[in-house]
Amino acid sequence: MTPNCWGDDASYDYAAINDALNRYLRLKTTPIGLKRFRTIEELSSVPKLRRPPAGEKFAFDQMVGQSRWLGWTLGVTMDNLMGQQCGAVVGLAPRDPTWLEGRHLAGVWYGTPADSAAHQAAMSCASHGDYQAIALSPITAGRLDNPDIVLIYGTPGQMITFVNGLQYRQYRKYTFTCVGESACADSWGNALKTGEPSLSVPCYAERKFGGVLDEEMLMAIPPSFLPQVVDGLKALSDNGLRYPIPNHGIQKSPLDSIAASYGQQKV
């Protein structure tokens, strides 16, 4: 196995992971893996790789949407992206100083250049290293050798259940960010920067161009966390805590339901 950007060279059973996520969360689409490559030649080694049409420029969230909804394995370079902002979030390009000044978004998403500059400064972007390309592919396709991160879309109910599974063992409090527009910085940008699970509320652009549904959130997560999530989801299911979450009703005392989970102990 080729290590990913975290040095993780473990072999994960992505088919089993996907089956478990579908069993416990009933996802609408297959999670996709994202992996960066230092050279175009390395990218070209990915089997059944598609490249965007020559001369067309896309937003990176469109590339994610094509892989997610159409099942494509896509190879992306800066030549395929509509601007440096898209490439900077995933580490294919450095931050553009003119964007950092905040002039582009001022009067559109933010009221003043100062507001816009503050937004730009707040964005989490992967470190710009020697990466020249990125491949995206459904994790069940078996075409990416150890992705850097996995992208999982779901409803708020699915996402809180996912986080509950993540926290079942080795508990820790997770804090997620919201920069507003450019929310890809909260998901794949932050996950690639920190190596931490990163939950986001996808922004206007991701929904307009990237095919994200109105009710969806996005979890970007290094693959090493996924076995822990699956084990936690199974344990929760065995405890009777399952998705979809049944509505108990707002006019009936919860004590019977509480007793079923916790016994007769005081809560």
Share the mean pLDDT of the chain: 94
| pLDDT score recorded for residue 201 | 98
Q: How many beta carbons lie within 10 A of that of residue 69, not counting itself?
A: 15
Q: What is the pTM of this model?
A: 0.95
In the numeric block, the tokens 């491949």 are attached to: 135
Domain range annotation of the chain: 14-245
Confidence of residue 261 (pLDDT cuts 50, 70, 90): confident
Give the mean pLDDT of 49-62: 96
The residues with which 36 forms a beta bridge, in sequence order, are 134
Identify the pLDDT of residue 265.
61
pLDDT at site 266 = 54
Nearest Cα neighbor of 185 from 121, 123, 231, 96 is 123
CB atoms within 10 A of CB 76: 28
The continuous run of DSSP H or E covering 72 comes out as none
Residue 155's nearest CA partner among 70, 246, 29 is: 29
* Tens digits of residue pLDDT in 211-255: 999 999 999 999 999 999 999 999 999 999 999 999 999 999 999
- pLDDT, tens only, 59-102: 999 999 999 999 999 999 999 999 899 999 999 999 888 888 88
Q: List, for residues 184-221, the tens digit of each pLDDT value.
A: 999 999 999 999 999 999 999 999 999 999 999 999 99
Encode pLDDT of 26-51 as tens digits. Answer: 999 999 999 999 999 999 999 999 99
The pLDDT of residue 267 is: 52
C-alpha distances in angstroms, 93 versus 4, 96, 130, 168, 188?
A: 19, 8, 9, 37, 15
pLDDT class for 264, splitting at 50, 70, 90? low
